[in-house]
Amino acid sequence: MSEYRFTPQAVADLFDIWSFIADDNPSAAEKVEQAIFRACDFLSDSPLAGRTRRDLTSRPLRFWVVQPYSHYLVVYNPEKQPLQIIRILHTSRDLPSMLR
């Protein structure tokens, strides 16, 4: 299995997501967090699986939808070794400004 690393911002994103959900349902927060980790594990072995999104950033980043929680995106740099998880974002956010 390959490896991946979170940027400090991705760590903060994950904490914010978990905290927001856990305020209402700690069990659901754990499930979402585990789905995010599974997505990152998958991407570390298949870094080109995600899509590029030129409408969101000109940087060489890829985007992966977290399953089954399709409102969350893992934003990562497939060119870095180990794989670099840049952000973990909810799709309702202003993605272009968050990726600047």
pTM for the whole thing?
A: 0.93
What DSSP string describes the chain? ---EEE-HHHHHHHHHHHHHHHTT-HHHHHHHHHHHHHHHHHHHH-TTSSBP-TTT-SSS-EEEEPSS-TTEEEEEETTSSSEEEEEEEETTS-HHHHT-
Cα 22 to chain centroid distance, Å, stands at 18
**pLDDT, tens digit, 9 for 90 and up, residues 50-62:** 999 999 999 999 9
Per-residue model confidence (pLDDT) at position 95: 92
**pLDDT, tens digit, 9 for 90 and up, residues 58-96:** 999 999 999 999 999 999 999 999 999 999 999 999 998
**pLDDT, tens digit, 9 for 90 and up, residues 13-31:** 999 999 999 999 999 999 9
**Going from the N-terminus, what domains does the chain have, and what CATH number goes with each?**
4-98 (3.30.2310.20)
Cα-Cα end-to-end distance for the chain = 31
Per-residue model confidence (pLDDT) at position 1: 52
Per-residue model confidence (pLDDT) at position 40: 97
How many CB atoms are located within 10 Å of the residue 34 CB?
A: 10
